[in-house]
Structure 1
Amino acid sequence: MNLPFSENLPVNRLASIFASTSATYKFYWFLAILELVEEGNTAIYKRNLFSRMISNSWYTVNYFHVSFGKQDLIQESVRSILKIENLTIDENKNKINAVLENTTNNQTIKILNHFDKNVPHWFISPWFSGNRNSIYLQSQNFDNGCLYSLEKDFININPLWSSYLKSNSKILKNFCYWNLSLFLQKRNPSVPDIPNKINKTITRNSLTKQTNEYWKLVFNELGSIECVFTGNKLIFDEKRYALDHFVPHAFVSHDLIWNLIPIDKSFNSYKSDKLPSVDKYFDKFFNLQKTAFEIVKNKNTKNKYLEEYLTIFPDLDNVNSFDYQRYKESILPLITIAHNNGFSFMKDRLPSSP
């Protein structure tokens, strides 16, 4: 993916910034610049940019547990600020920005200011040679057509670049996200759906269709379903049960039917994005899934959700092909990889039933 061409700007130098990357700061610094330029800013406080770097990577680190690499400064900063500022892993991005831009907590301020040691000047190093002080000095008059000039507390966007950034902001963001995805995928080779874990906020699709078009058929046939986690009997009542992702949505990032089961609604919030023990719960999960598949297939062989099992069973024709070992061998690696990436297991002690 190439950057938009310009006859009057050294776009090749901007592109060269991303030619070799060992950390994520280049991507998040540039994304922060684009966002604030879109809002009409030309003189941009570094504190605001550092705050955007944190908020733009917040969900990727805290919610999706994507690894940036052991030495990545942003990843460690996000984790530290989460605790220091007492924020949540799914905090609203605007609130994160507001907190970081206005905080008086010395620990947070120190973390944000640490980015100033290297990020602002090394980002524009393709335009210059020399050390930090030299780059600051050379940038003052936008020498060599550099992207911005550097001041102690802020940067000034070069007027020649301003319109280019605004008019091409969507393409430039996509360029950033694409390259960031490639960068992170190399460090997380077994983690699914990396692109959707870096460029959008936490949103959950409604599971109403899966409920009404698939699991309702199962409830109607059986009358009740036993929760695989609590053992409680569930009836088709939205106040009593919730459709849950066996392997957390935050990891798989999809709503395929083979990972969805009705569970006790009082247990749903307790489980949250925790991992279930395969040894303790998989057999019950498998038996419920197999029973549901058999019921739905008998009632409607063209039910669209039956096709979603083909990602596990490519040759699935009937319930006899619904193989226990193959299903387990599909689920177990997901649980293992998710745990290695920071997702925790549910505790053995269960909350009291209502």
Structure 2
Amino acid sequence: MGKAGKVLGQILTSYGISQGKLAEQLGIARSNVHRWVAEIRDPNSETVQGIITALKAINPDAADEFIGLYASGLAVGQDTFAEANSGAWINPVSGGLERLPDTEGLNVAALSRLFDKTTTSYKYVFFLSLLDILRRQNFDIDSTISLRDLLIEILVNAWYPHTYFKLSFGIQDKIAIKLDSLELDLDKPAFDELEKNLLREEISKRNLDNLLIGKDSLMRYVPFRLITPFLSQQLKAYKSQSRGTTRNDDIENEIITALAEQYFDTAKPLYKFNGNSPKLCKSIQLSSEWISYIRINYSIVRGWVSWKWLQYMQSKNPSTPAISNKLFPQIRRGALASQTKYWQKILEYTDEISCIYSNRPLRADSKLSLDHYLPWSFVAHDQIWNLVPTFSDVNSSKSKIIPSSVYFDSFVRVHYLGLKIWKEKMIKDKTLNRFIDMYISDLRLHTKDDLTDFEKLSKAYNSTFQPLLSLATSLGFEAGWNYSQN
């Protein structure tokens, strides 16, 4: 079994959920949660189900990511599971293990092997894009989809995790390079269907010929290789007959194109091509039977491929927090209302706190703007320990750039002053408990007294932030921002 406790610890930290809050939701003592997170004792499978249910009640996104990380551990840690259940996945709704539904006349086992021996993201994004287009076409059983439209959808799906969150797609993967070459300018954290439509329109205006055809084309291999599980017997027979004949990748594509056409009604691959040569193929024609299958089982099929892609991207970004939030545009930045109220309460008791960037004094009646010191587009959360009060013009100027290191000591001191005031003036305010628990658990402190020990707090901030700052800059986030009043 995978280390559920270790995964749980990552999730609680990423989403700012205190151990006490989870224990309360589970109806157990906090010490039990601490034992799991500290990896003293791992929860059993029944308890894991309870954890998933509790996390859903607290934060559905946290539950989804826990499922993905835990399932990834299962797949890696149990060979028999991985071998026997390649079509299995963890349902984010129920939290249980599911399989792709079988149906008479279709080779679902072949479908479950689509992502075997995958070394790049192409197959995952290609199939997700195929599902997106099918859904927009209302699962028309006569669906023919152009490779150009598929390419555009691939770029749309890859844009969010690459451009906004700087995720790596792998050393061999060229999607990021191709996206950068288009110089697209759409940088919004709330990436909903409207923004996706705008992005599709923008990409469709570009010359995509070099991405569609040629040696470095994104579509050179994946449309052909994706359907090989459906034609495995035919390919094996063909290779046996042509033993000794020299073949290259282009010839392999030719063979697959011919076999997909020849066995379209018998082996029933997902689709066939509209041309008898890869160089002449401009579109794919989907099997009406597979379209019906996908329509009926859409949520299951999409959940399965999303889980597979999540596993792949986790393997390429092992140190990056909140992968699922950065892979799928499901979340929007929070309004920060409760965090703002916390700082306003702090400022009611002191006039010693100033904006760390502009040195302008902050007051309770100031129009506060909370800045994510580590950019939201990197951490994908709104934990109180990463937020610092400032003014809207300063915050807008900083945007998602990592500030210069000259501000770090002031950043820590502002939090120290806030926590000191909390202890002296606000310690009986139970509404602030969740923020205080975040400081303790996420910064790996031991007691509430540690929060007002500047040396311990500063050491905790440094040990937490320095690795994250190094990772963010290595991923390509701009750093070294300094405030200028001009």
TM-based fold match above 0.5: yes
SS at structure 2 position matched to 1:242: strand
Give 5+ residue unaligned stretches, structure 1.
none
| Deviation string, structure 1 residues 202-258 (Cα, Å, up to 9, x no partner) | 62111012112x11111211247311112122334564x310111111111111111
CA RMSD of aligned residues (A): 2.0
Q: How does 1:275-290 map to 2 (within 5 A)?
A: 275-278=402-405, 280-290=406-416
Partner of 1:351: 484
2:110 and 2:230 in contact (8 A); partners too: yes
Q: In the alignment, which residue of structure 2 is the partner of 1:178?
A: 307
1:34 and 1:166 in contact (8 A); partners too: no
Quick check: 2:398–2:481 contact (8 Å CA) kept in 1? no
Write the letter of the residue equivalent to 1:36. I
Using the TM superposition, name which of 87-96 and 154-163 deviates more. Answer: 87-96
Shift of 1:320: 3.8
CA contact (8 A) 2:186 2:199 kept: no
**Cα gap change, 1:234 to 1:320, in 2 (>3 Å):** closer
Query: Aligned residue for 1:147?
Result: 270
Per the alignment, do residues 224 and 8 of structure 1 end up closer, same or farther by CA in structure 2, a change over 3 Å counting?
A: farther
In the TM superposition, what are the counterparts of 1:287-326 in structure 2 within 5 Å? 287-297=413-423, 298-301=425-428, 302=430, 303=432, 304-309=434-439, 310-318=441-449, 319-321=451-453, 322-326=456-460
Provide the residue aligned with 2:202 in structure 1: 99
* Aligned match of 1:133: 254
Question: Aligned residue for 1:110?
Answer: 210
Structure 1 residue 93: Cα displacement: 1.3
* Residue 308 of structure 2 is aligned to residue 187 of structure 1: no
Report the Cα distance in structure 2 between the residues aligned to 1:323 and 1:47, rounded to whole angstroms.
54
Asked if 1:242 corresponds to 2:242, the answer is no
Per-residue CA distance 1:149-182 (angstroms, 9 max, x = gap): 1122111110111111112222222212212121
**More displaced stretch, 55-64 vs 314-323:** 314-323
Equivalent position amino acid for 2:392 in 1 = K
Number of the residue aligned with 1:328: 462
Q: How does 1:1-354 map to 2 (within 5 A)?
A: 1=89, 2-39=99-136, 40=138, 41=140, 42-81=143-182, 83=183, 86-90=184-188, 92-101=195-204, 103=205, 105-106=206-207, 108-113=208-213, 114-128=217-231, 129=235, 131-140=252-261, 142=264, 143-151=266-274, 152-200=281-329, 203-212=332-341, 214-223=342-351, 225-236=353-364, 239=367, 241-278=368-405, 280-297=406-423, 298-301=425-428, 302=430, 303=432, 304-309=434-439, 310-318=441-449, 319-321=451-453, 322-348=456-482, 350-352=483-485
The Cα shift of 1:140 comes to: 2.2
TM-score, normalising length from structure 1? 0.90
Question: Across the two proteins, how many residue pairs are aligned to each other?
Answer: 343
Tell me if the contact between 2:212 and 2:220 (Cα under 8 Å) persists in the aligned partners: no
- CA contact 1:229–1:281 (8 Å) conserved in 2: yes
Partners of 1:20 and 1:235 in 2: CA distance:
59
DSSP-derived class of the 1:160 partner? helix
After TM superposition, the score normalised by the length of structure 2 is 0.67
Q: Deviation string for 1:25-63 (max 9, x for gaps)?
A: 111110011111112242111111111111011110001
Moved more, 161-170 or 88-97: 88-97
CA distance in 2, matches of 1:97, 1:347: 32
In structure 1, give the amino acid aligned to 2:157. N
Identity across matched positions, percent: 29
Assess if the C-alpha contact under 8 Å between 1:245 and 1:260 holds in 2: yes
State the distance in 2 between where 1:320 and 1:305 align.
Answer: 14
Specify the code of the residue in structure 2 equivalent to 1:324.
S
CA contact (8 A) 1:177 1:198 kept: no
Structure 2 residue runs of 5 or longer lacking an equivalent are 1-88, 90-98, 239-251, 275-280
Letter of the 1:134 counterpart: I
Assess if the C-alpha contact under 8 Å between 2:445 and 2:460 holds in 1: no
Contact 1:121–1:136 (Cα < 8 Å) also in 2: yes
* Partner deviation per Cα, 1:48-86 (whole Å, 9 max, x = no partner): 1111111011110001001112221212112222x1xx4
Counterparts of 1:109 and 1:201 in 2: how far apart (Å)? Answer: 31
